[in-house]
Amino acid sequence: MHIISGSSNPELASSIVKALNQKSPSQNSQLIEVEISKFGNNEKRIWIKEESKVRGQKICIVQSFSEPVDENIIETLLIIDALERLGAREVSLIVPWMGYSLQDKVFREGEAIAAKVVANLISNTFVSRVFLLDLHNPSIPGFFSIPTYHLSARNLFIDYLKSNKYLDNAVVVSPDFGGLKKAKNFAKQINLPLLNIDKSRDLKTGEVTSHSLYGGEVAGKKAIIFDDVINSGGTAAKTAALLKKEGALEVIFTATHGIFCNNGLNTIEKSQLDRAVVSNSIAQTEKPKNLEYINLASLFADALIDWI
């Protein structure tokens, strides 16, 4: 199986190639060269240069539907079409971050279910299977009409926390009621107490307000927050402020996806978080002093092994 990278995350794609070759050296997976450009009218143009590595072969595309979201989705559809026309045997698609996945229901009458629209777009292509990661709503794979695999980076975060001794004298905190089930499973796996924060969000502005802490004491302990996504960083910053006010020694916020919209990286850097940890599902160009990244390559390579 060979890998093609879209524009969104070429470093992750390269890492997946290396991980695949470590796990299955006989396959000799390679990163296929693709030229991604634009015409003068701003339309995307795709040219896969290495036809011999495509025809009759299994190919996997790696593309996050991150900013610029619409461009990356269209780019993915064009790559899929080009692979089909070149005679690829089959095409798999890894979407480390699925843009529009947070629009998974109708919040107000007259809104679209954008996650389902994107799922339909992908399902009606030459793609044989899709790999998704830590979606906010685990029901989203059901929007696809092709085999879809919902992976979790939870064990990678647990390994990180263990190696940095963050699990000693610690509690797990759910940042809101919506994440309670996820946090409960996380706390059970690492055998730590679970606390919950009462939070409200304005559906029009998206502004988050953290109110109070329930379920136990955080004073004198490390507080570990487990969530699926950091969007603007507002929840993370306000959660850290509340927990420090309640006497937490350290606050570690872990989230699979770091979107960091609206100057979110700056929000994280100026917050009271001792450490924020996200994966490289979305490529980043900056690294605040209190932010760490976890590489997903081995997780996706393991998922692909059964299909190479």
**What is the CATH classification number for the domain harbouring 183?**
3.40.50.2020
Residue-number span of the structural domain to which 163 is assigned: 154-280
Please tell me whether residues 183 and 144 are part of one structural domain: no
Residue 61: pLDDT band by 50, 70, 90 thresholds? very high
Contact 182, 228 (CB under 8 A): yes
Contact yes or no for 116/148 (Cβ under 8 A)? no
Residues 139 and 196 in one domain: no
Are 132 and 234 found together in one domain?
no
Residue 54 and residue 121 share a domain = yes
291 falls within a domain = no
Does 210 map to a domain? yes
If residue 304 lies in a helix (H) or strand (E), which one and from where to where? helix 297-304
In terms of Cα–Cα distance, which of 3, 178, 6, 30 is closest to 92?
A: 3
| pLDDT higher than 90, residue 111 | yes
Q: Where are the beta strands (DSSP E) in 84-126?
A: 90-95
pLDDT in tens, 67-105: 999 999 999 999 999 999 999 999 999 999 999 999 999
287 in a structural domain: no
Same-domain pairing of 60 and 178: no
pLDDT score of 215 more than 70: yes
In a domain, 285, yes or no: no
> Token pair for residue 46?
């795709």
Tell me, yes or no, whether 77 and 128 share the same domain: yes
Query: 184 in a domain, yes or no?
Result: yes
Residues 18 and 113 in one domain: yes
> Where does the pLDDT of residue 232 fall: very low under 50, low under 70, confident under 90, or very high at 90 and above?
very high
Residue 223 and residue 167 share a domain: yes
pLDDT surpasses 80 at 214: no
Statement to judge: residues 182 and 274 lie in one domain: yes
Mean pLDDT score, 48-61: 95
> Per the domain annotation, does 11 fall within a domain?
yes
3-state SS, residue 164 = coil
Same domain, 15 and 139: yes
> What average pLDDT score do residues 141-149 get?
98
Question: If you average pLDDT over residues 150-169, what whole number do you get?
Answer: 96
CB proximity list for 139: less than 8 A, separation 6 or greater: 104
Dig out the tokens for 227 from the structure. 């969530």
- The whole-number pLDDT of residue 40 equals 96
Q: Specify the pLDDT at position 182.
A: 87
Are 39 and 121 in a shared domain? Answer: yes
* Strands of 170-174's sheet in order across: 208-214, 194-201, 170-174, 222-230, 250-258, 275-279, 291-294
Residue numbers annotated as active site: 199
Confidence of residue 200 (pLDDT cuts 50, 70, 90): low
**Residues 124, 235 within the same domain:** no
More confident of the two residues 301 and 287: 301
- Is position 29 within any domain? yes
The whole-number average pLDDT for the span 266-272 is 96
Q: What is the rounded distance in angstroms from the CA atom of residue 260 to the CA atom of residue 17?
A: 27
The amino acid that residue 148 corresponds to is T
Distance of alpha carbon 285 from alpha carbon 231, whole angstroms? 16
Domain membership flag for residue 288: no
User: Mean per-residue pLDDT for 35-45?
Assistant: 97
Q: Which residues are CB-contacts of 178 (< 8 A; sequence separation ≥ 6)? A: none
Position 286 scores a pLDDT of 84
Give the number of domains in the chain.
2
Q: Which amino acid is at 147?
A: P
Q: Please, which pLDDT band fits residue 207 given cuts at 50, 70 and 90?
A: low
